């Protein structure tokens, strides 16, 4: 092992012990918080940078730019720090302050776009993308462009290879759709009958054909149908409200000792629904996307409320 980047991946797969469906089905959680920055996004950040280095899009010491709600930015900041690439991040005050601070501590230069009352909206996503494009054009930085970058899919193919044993259904929240797409592609090769279920914010259920709206679940729900989404990826799309996701996040911490962010709470809400419907012999796998330390202030406020 040569650098901290060599510790990315190989995360554990754990069963829920107390938050259980009445059906008796198993729910397994892939614990991505054990990655170096505490997030599954370490995998995709490394894959995108390695691919760009390999084909010459990103020269030694070349700068990188990305728009991000935080976890991708933190992961890119880690990878760029180790590899010697200056990083420009476009983000917003809509996202957890812990994530913004973490990016800065790892050496990223931030441009913070104001939000509407601290909420995620389609306009905010598009404003961030436009700002990242301006920086890339002005500076000549390599734009990882996570909404369109297919290099990251390989990282999720490798992640799927770590999920052993029978899998009846797989549940994952949709941000860029890369993780759901990459994992679904690889899992289907081994489990042709697997049921793939996407998760989106109920307040902005655009994949289900609903209107765009504001929500408070970091890491998912861009507010429009993202380029990497394909309706054929999933058998179903399930909405979860910000309140439901937050409540389940607190349950995971207090009943399972699993301290995660709200996107994980949303995943588990839907995993429970699927486990109830599929019956006692089912095994439902979902993702603990990141550590709750990235959302500590918000979760603390939820407890206080």
User: Does residue 70 or residue 30 have the better pLDDT?
Assistant: 30
C-alpha–C-alpha distance, residues 30 and 1, integer Å:
23
Q: Enumerate the CATH 3.40.50.1100 domain ranges in the chain, comma separated.
A: 4-34+156-304, 41-143
Burial class (CB in 10 A: 0-12, 13-18, 19+), 21: buried
Q: How far apart are CA 248 and CA 171, in angstroms?
A: 15
Q: Can you tell me the mean pLDDT for 58-85?
A: 95
pTM of the model: 0.93
Res 101: pLDDT: 93
Q: 4-34+156-304 sits in which CATH class? A: alpha beta
DSSP 151-186: GGHHHHHHHHHT--S--SEEEEE-SSSHHHHHHHHH
Whether 181 has a pLDDT exceeding 90, the answer reads: yes
Q: What is the mean pLDDT of residues 224-237?
A: 95
pLDDT at 300: 77
Q: Are 262 and 173 in contact (CB under 8 A)?
A: no
> What are the tens digits of pLDDT across the range 120-145?
888 998 999 999 999 999 999 999 99
d(C-alpha 260, C-alpha 222), whole Å: 20
Is residue 183 within 8 Å of 224, Cβ to Cβ?
no
Residues with Cβ within 8 Å of residue 168, at least 6 apart in sequence: 25, 194, 195, 278, 281, 282, 283, 284
Q: What is the mean pLDDT of residues 192-208?
A: 97
Residue 64 in contact with residue 53, Cβ under 8 Å?
no
Q: What is the pLDDT of residue 197?
A: 98
With a pLDDT cut of 70, the percent of the chain lying above it is 100
Per-residue pLDDT at 245 exceeds 90: yes
**pLDDT at position 303:** 82
Q: How high is the pLDDT of residue 70?
A: 77
Task: List beta partners, residue 6.
Answer: none
In this prediction, residue 304 carries a pLDDT of 73
pLDDT at 296: 75
Q: Which is nearest to 191 in space by CA: 276, 274, 282?
A: 282
Rounded-to-integer distance, Cα 148 and Cα 168, Å: 29
Q: For residue 294, is pLDDT > 80?
A: no
| 49: pLDDT strictly greater than 90 | yes
Going by pLDDT thresholds of 50, 70 and 90, the confidence category of residue 237 is: very high
pLDDT tens figures, 256-282: 999 999 999 999 999 999 999 999 999
- Matching CATH number, 41-143, of 3.90.1150.10, 2.160.10.10, 3.40.50.2300, 3.40.50.1100: 3.40.50.1100
Q: Is the pLDDT of residue 297 over 90?
A: no
Percent of the chain with pLDDT strictly greater than 90: 87
Average pLDDT of the segment spanning 114-120: 84
């Amino acid at each position: 092992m040569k650098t901290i980047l060599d510790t990315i991946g190989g995360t554990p797969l754990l069963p829920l012990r107390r938050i259980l469906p009445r059906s008796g089905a198993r729910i397994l959680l892939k614990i991505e918080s054990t990655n170096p920055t505490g997030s599954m996004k370490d995998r995709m950040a490394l894959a995108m940078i390695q691919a760009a280095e390999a084909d010459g899009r990103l020269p030694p010491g070349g700068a990188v730019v990305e728009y991000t709600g935080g976890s991708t930015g933190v992961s890119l900041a880690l990878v760029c720090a180790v590899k010697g690439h200056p990083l420009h991040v476009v983000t917003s005050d809509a996202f957890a302050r812990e994530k913004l601070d973490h990016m800065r501590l790892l050496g990223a230069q931030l441009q913070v776009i104001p939000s509407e009352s601290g909420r995620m909206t389609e306009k905010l996503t598009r404003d961030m993308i436009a700002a990242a494009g301006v920086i890339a054009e002005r500076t000549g930085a390599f734009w990882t462009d996570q909404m369109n970058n297919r290099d990251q899919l390989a990282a999720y193919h490798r992640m799927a290879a770590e999920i052993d044993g029978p899998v009846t259904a797989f549940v994952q929240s949709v941000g860029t759709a890369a993780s759901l797409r990459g994992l679904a592609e690889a899992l289907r090769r081994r489990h042709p009958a697997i049921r793939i279920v996407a998760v989106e914010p109920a307040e902005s259920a655009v994949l289900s054909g609903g209107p765009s709206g504001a929500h408070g679940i970091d890491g998912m729900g861009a507010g429009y149908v993202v380029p990497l989404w394909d309706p054929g990826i999933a058998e179903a799309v399930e909405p979860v409200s910000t309140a439901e996701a937050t409540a389940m996040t607190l349950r995971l911490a207090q009943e399972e000792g699993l301290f995660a962010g709200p996107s994980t709470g949303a995943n588990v809400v839907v995993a429970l629904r699927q486990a109830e419907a599929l019956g006692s012999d089912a095994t439902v796998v979902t993702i603990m996307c990141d550590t709750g330390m990235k959302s500590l202030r918000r979760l603390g406020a939820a407890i206080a409320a």
